[in-house]
């Protein structure tokens, strides 16, 4: 009987020891859900941060593209205006060259054609130069203080002289004997008139632009 009790007690203690060992082992290897939650939150925050960075990057790239587009448009406009100016210069120079050829053929009255035609070309070159100076002022400066009024007035004066020279050429043309020469000079006069009309329109547009303190520029 005593042996049985002792054996039972030993078996109970052995079973208890195994149970404690299993519990201890389970606790040691049980996942820490709190730590996992923290890691999960960190991962989500990191994902959101990367997403925000991605959106910011896309926004910045879009803004940069728009800015480049505006700059590109301005450069294209400036290039186009410069090209048109060179085209007008070339047209007037060629027209004057054609009239000088007429002057060489007819002699006498042709010398008057030569003098006026050469003066016409020089005058138009000055008009184009003044137009280039007017265009140098930026859009922001025009908004606040207006365009270069002094250059505009000088350009208008030169345009007036251009028209007077055209009238003089038309008078000389009427005295030419050859109908062919008259037609040739008349064609060149029309080309020069077209260039003058273009420049006059541009100068008018520059002068009519709105500005906050443009009246100050006119006064001073």
The predicted pLDDT at position 142 comes to: 75
* CA distances (Å), origin 110, targets 83, 155, 161, 167: 33, 29, 21, 16
Q: What is the pLDDT of residues 136-158, one digit of tens each?
A: 887 777 777 778 888 999 999 99
pLDDT at 215: 58
| pLDDT of 163 strictly over 90 | yes
Which segments of the chain does DSSP mark as H helices, in order?
2-29, 33-106, 109-135, 139-145, 149-174, 179-208, 214-219
How many percent of the chain have pLDDT more than 70? 59
In the chain, where the domains are located = 70-219
Burial class (CB in 10 A: 0-12, 13-18, 19+), 113: buried
pLDDT tens profile 60-104: 666 665 555 544 444 555 677 778 889 999 999 999 999 999 998
DSSP code per residue over 4-52: HHHHHHHHHHHHHHHHHHHHHHHHHHS--HHHHHHHHHHHHHHHHHHHH
> Is the whole model's pTM more than 0.85, yes or no?
no
Average pLDDT over residues 47-52: 52
For residue 215, which of 141, 146, 156 has the smallest C-alpha distance?
A: 146
């Amino acid at each position: 009987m005593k042996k049985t009790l002792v054996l039972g007690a030993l078996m109970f203690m052995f079973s208890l020891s195994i149970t404690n060992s299993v519990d201890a082992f389970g606790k040691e290897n049980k996942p820490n859900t709190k730590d996992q939650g923290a890691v999960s939150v960190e991962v989500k925050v990191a994902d959101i941060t990367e997403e925000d960075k991605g959106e910011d990057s896309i926004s910045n790239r879009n803004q940069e593209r728009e800015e480049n587009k505006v700059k590109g448009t301005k450069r294209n406009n400036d290039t186009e205006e410069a090209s048109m100016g060179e085209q007008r210069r070339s047209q007037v120079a060629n027209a004057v060259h054609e009239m000088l050829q007429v002057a060489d053929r007819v002699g006498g009255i042709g010398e008057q054609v030569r003098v006026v035609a050469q003066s016409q070309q020089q005058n138009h070159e000055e008009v184009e130069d003044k137009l280039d100076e007017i265009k140098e002022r930026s859009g922001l400066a025009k908004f606040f203080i207006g365009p270069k009024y002094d250059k505009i007035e000088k350009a208008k004066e030169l345009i007036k002289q251009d028209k007077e020279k055209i009238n003089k050429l038309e008078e000389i043309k009427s005295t030419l004997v050859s109908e062919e020469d008259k037609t040739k000079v008349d064609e060149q006069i029309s080309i020069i008139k077209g260039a003058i009309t273009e420049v006059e329109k541009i100068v008018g547009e520059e002068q009519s632009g709105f500005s906050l303190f443009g009246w100050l520029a006119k006064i001073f």
